[in-house]
């Protein structure tokens, strides 16, 4: 752990000396209870304003990086974060790195558990560095979600992914610590596997496309897991919606968990209904 802390410090000093750290939004998090969406590419700030005013949305999932990220992000800059934060938006930060070893993705985790664990740590360091570059200060307390897509029910594959996720969680716990989460299919990513890790993810976002926004109704996940404002639900997949005269292709989500930088509480929201 010491070597990682040293490298983080050295990186921060180098960035400051070069003048590349832009303070866009505060670090930290807050509990979000409300609806949000994710889009492959971050929309323009003008679109974000139109999608904020008189809409159900209060947060957006943004894909900040990773070797398997599907889209470029020309809008995703410290300036974009500064403007959308001022509009009222909060964020689920998503990282899309290597996927399960039993898939056909271009970048995959090793079947070897020790190697997979180290790969998880490496991805966490890369995500931290990106947070710094985007202007999240020292990134302390920022929730970061690893996007782990569904994969076949193979015991060695599941074990490798579980080891990888432990590396992800452990590395994000290194000071200045972030808050480690994971996104995936409740059933197809076997999210319940991660509840039995020695140090589980702090929150989950479960894809369960049943059009029921309640974060308590998650297929294949026990009601006893992640119970303390630790749940997001992607309740509707890839579709078009129009707000303010602008159409986007999105996934619809509900939150009862931590978002960056801060949150909005809507106690009567369908997101937290039981």
Per-domain boundaries in the chain: 37-272
Q: What is the pTM of this model?
A: 0.91
33 vs 10, higher pLDDT: 33
12: pLDDT strictly greater than 50: no
Which residue, chain included where needed, has tokens 């969406």? Answer: 37
Q: Mind listing the pLDDT tens digit for each residue in 115-134? A: 999 999 999 999 999 999 99
- Contact between 168 and 160 under an 8 Å Cβ cutoff? The reply is no
- Write down the pLDDT at residue 14: 39
104: pLDDT strictly greater than 50: yes
The pLDDT mean for the chain works out to 92
Provide the β-strand partners of residue 59: 36, 90
Q: Mind listing the pLDDT tens digit for each residue in 223-271? A: 999 999 999 999 999 999 999 999 999 999 999 999 999 999 987 789 9
Q: Mind listing the pLDDT tens digit for each residue in 183-231? A: 999 999 999 999 999 999 999 999 999 999 999 999 999 999 999 999 9
Torsion angle of C-alpha atoms 175, 176, 177, 178, degrees rounded to 10: -150
The architecture CATH gives domain 37-272: Alpha-Beta Barrel (3.20)
- Contact between 223 and 216 under an 8 Å Cβ cutoff? The reply is yes
- Contact between 169 and 137 under an 8 Å Cβ cutoff? The reply is no
């Amino acid at each position: 752990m010491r070597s990682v802390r040293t490298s983080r410090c050295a990186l921060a000093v180098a960035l400051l000396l070069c003048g590349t750290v832009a303070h866009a939004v505060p670090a930290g998090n807050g509990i979000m209870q409300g609806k949000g969406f994710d889009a492959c590419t971050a929309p323009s700030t003008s679109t974000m304003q139109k999608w904020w005013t008189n809409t159900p949305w209060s947060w957006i999932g943004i894909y900040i990086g990773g070797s398997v990220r599907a889209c470029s992000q020309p809008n995703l800059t410290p300036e974009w974060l500064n403007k959308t934060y001022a509009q009222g938006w909060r964020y689920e930060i998503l990282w899309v790195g290597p996927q399960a070893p039993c898939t056909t993705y271009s970048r995959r985790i090793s079947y070897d558990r020790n190697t997979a664990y180290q790969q998880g740590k490496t991805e966490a360091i890369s995500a931290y560095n990106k947070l710094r570059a985007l202007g999240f200060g020292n990134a302390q307390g920022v929730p970061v979600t690893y996007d782990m897509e569904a994969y076949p029910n193979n015991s060695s594959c599941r074990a490798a992914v579980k080891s990888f996720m432990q590396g992800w969680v452990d590395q994000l716990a290194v000071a200045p610590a972030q808050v480690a989460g994971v996104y995936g299919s409740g059933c197809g990513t076997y999210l319940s596997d991660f509840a039995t890790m020695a140090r589980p993810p702090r929150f989950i976002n479960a894809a369960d496309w049943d059009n029921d926004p309640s974060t308590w109704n998650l297929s294949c996940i026990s009601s006893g897991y992640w119970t303390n404002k630790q749940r997001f639900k992607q309740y509707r997949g890839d579709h078009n919606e129009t707000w303010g005269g602008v159409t986007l292709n999105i996934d619809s989500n509900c939150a009862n968990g931590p978002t960056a930088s801060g949150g909005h509480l809507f106690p009567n929201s369908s997101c937290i209904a039981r």
